[in-house]
Structure 1
Amino acid sequence: MTTLDIRSDVTVQLVDHNLSDKAVVRAARVSTVGQTHNNPTEDADRDAGLINYLMRERHGSPFEHGSLTLFVEAPIFVFREWQRHRIASYNEESARYRELRPVFYLPAADRNLVQVGKPGAYRLKPGTAEQLAFVDCELLNAYEAAYEAYERMLVAGIAREIARAALPVGIYSSMYVTMNPRGLMNFLSLRTHREDAAFVSNPQREIEMCAEKAEAIFAELMPVTHAAFEANGRVAP
């Protein structure tokens, strides 16, 4: 019997980027003053004011210059939500071409479990210790049965692309995702819950965990743009 690797976390790592607040400023100012990348009179406060203006007035195209590439490991159900954001490029691990590892997701002990209300207008509340233990037991049993079926098919010579049908969406996959700052802000606005946002979103917690890690990277690489995003209601320009 294969030993399952159980995780309750996600991985979001910076792989590559060419992001900067200066890139936003250059793109915006070329409309009025032409070439600006060698301008010795650039002023940090003035640049910040321009970025805030662009964000507030939703002049979005200057935020499309540059990109970052992230490496992500998460359950497949998270990827299906993430890949709905089409302002990005994706390459995901293929279960057609490689055997998936037995890495599966279990909710952390502090993960809310119980839905109260109707779809589209509900909240989640903590479960009891008994409910958490029940979730763990049921998921582990399902994962073990599914992965054993997957392995039996592979041993029998069944193609990976067929055998993978037995695997649940709680299994981990990996991908590279590349997006520009505007696309990233659109993703963050929809996949984080912030009561002070202009449009409050209520994402599933697991994809929010990914978004929080991605936002920390964004804030470090483009602090002025991130501050303007925050100050203007977390609305993508």
Structure 2
Amino acid sequence: MPLTPDQQSQIDAERAAAASTRRPVSEGMEARLYTAHPVLDHGFVRVIDYMGGDAAIVQAARVSYGRGTRAVSDDAGLIRYLMRHWHSTPFEMCEAKFHVKLPIFVARQWIRHRTANVNEISARYSILDREFYIPAPEQLAAQARVNRQGRGDVLEGAEAQRVLDWLRDDATRAYDHYEAMLSQDGQQGLARELARMNLPANVYTQWYWKTDLHNLLGFLRLRADAHAQYEIRVYADVMAQITRDWVPAAWAAFEDYRMGGVQLSAKGVEVLKRRLRGEVVSQEDSGMSKGEWREFEGVWG
């Protein structure tokens, strides 16, 4: 259960409150504010605050005063131009702050995206909840034979059940020992900052993660991709839906040029030109490695 009744009550109270403001708002993001979107078995993502929207991107790009007189279509065209030519600073004028509850091993992968402000719950001061991520059976997979960092065939039968039992039993036992070490019933009790070292990586943590739109889109380009690890991809998928509602024009350009687009190397461009001239080009005379050629053929045939 991602939220307790008390937490949901607090969110309802936050959403019921309203404040007048002179600053422009995004109606799509206003609708998302504070709502906790469930992820995995105990996790969630919710927007705590934000600044700017599509209009802020345009205003920054033109360094304009007020809204100006240009049509919405002109603004969308400018945003597409900025995205197409890899301009970054106008997109940095928008920011969002997320409250995320996620397994520790996902957080350690996520934190590699360093262009954000992060404040994580401290197990030096707080006792972490008895909540750990246990994968659904369909997510238990063997190591991929080709991709060293990916998954292969799904485990089945007795092997799958044995793995699930180990994951659940090991996490429960480690947390039991964590609580026992902290306990001051008949003993001094170990300091929280030391007891936490025994917790498994599938225990849930929480943080506030604030970033600008440019870096958020960079995160989503990698983590909302089909090749990303499932456990971080499901968080990115939820954040992608939120971002689409927040900045619809910027999201449409991002989907077109980043998520749906293809980047070619100079060798790739030359191979395409040779093919258009009617030449038959093989990997051996393309100048590409086997891995590059496999990716090239995956897109261009």
Q: Same fold (TM over 0.5)?
A: yes
Please point out which of 132, 138, 149 is paired with 2:177.
149
CA distance in 1, matches of 2:133, 2:49: 27
Deviations 1:130-163 (A, max 9, x none): 3332222001110121011111111141100000
Structure-1 residue corresponding to 2:198: 166
1:72 and 2:105 equivalent? no
Q: Number of aligned pairs?
A: 217
In structure 1, list runs of 5 or more residues that go unmatched: 1-6, 195-201
Structure-2 residue corresponding to 1:181: 213
CA distance in 2, matches of 1:193, 1:129: 30
CA distance in 2, matches of 1:209, 1:9: 13
Structure-1 residue corresponding to 2:239: 214
What amino acid sits opposite 1:188 in the alignment?
L
Alignment of 1:111-122 (within 5 A): 111-118=139-146, 120=148, 122=150
Deviations 1:47-95 (A, max 9, x none): 0010001000001110000211111011000110111101111011110
1:233 and 2:258 equivalent? yes
1:36 and 2:27 equivalent? no
Structure-1 residue corresponding to 2:112: 84
What amino acid sits opposite 2:232 in the alignment?
I
In structure 2, list runs of 5 or more residues that go unmatched: 1-39, 262-301
CA distance in 2, matches of 1:122, 1:78: 15
1:21 and 2:80 equivalent? no
Q: Tell me, what secondary structure is at the counterpart of 1:103?
A: coil
CA distance in 2, matches of 1:186, 1:174: 22
1:12 and 2:45 equivalent? yes
Moved over 3 A (4+): 118-123
CA distance in 2, matches of 1:64, 1:131: 48
Alignment of 1:94-113 (within 5 A): 94-113=122-141
Q: Could you tell me the TM-score, scaled by structure 1's length?
A: 0.86
Q: Please state how far the C-alpha of 1:118 moved relative to its aligned partner.
A: 4.7
CA, structure 1 residues 36+132, in 2 after alignment: closer, same or farther (shift >3 Å)?
Answer: farther
CA distance in 2, matches of 1:192, 1:84: 15
Q: Which has the higher strand share?
A: 1
What amino acid sits opposite 2:79 in the alignment?
I
1:192 and 2:220 equivalent? no
CA distance in 1, matches of 2:219, 2:44: 17
Q: Please state how far the C-alpha of 1:221 moved relative to its aligned partner.
A: 0.5
CA distance in 2, matches of 1:161, 1:170: 18
Q: Please state how far the C-alpha of 1:121 moved relative to its aligned partner.
A: 6.3
CA distance in 1, matches of 2:96, 2:230: 23
Q: Is the 8 A contact 1:114 1:124 kept in 2?
A: yes
Q: Is the 8 A contact 1:91 1:177 kept in 2?
A: yes
Deviations 1:200-221 (A, max 9, x none): xx22110101111111110000
Higher relative contact order (CA 8 A, sep 6+): 1
Deviations 1:159-215 (A, max 9, x none): 000001110010001111000100100100111224xxxxxxx22110101111111
What amino acid sits opposite 1:217 in the alignment?
I
Let me know the Cα RMSD of the aligned residues. Answer: 1.7
Q: Is the 8 A contact 1:67 1:181 kept in 2?
A: yes
Q: Is the 8 A contact 1:154 1:160 kept in 2?
A: yes
What amino acid sits opposite 1:167 in the alignment?
L
CA distance in 1, matches of 2:101, 2:247: 24
Q: Is the 8 A contact 1:112 1:124 kept in 2?
A: no
Structure-1 residue corresponding to 2:293: none
Q: Tell me, what secondary structure is at the counterpart of 2:126?
A: coil
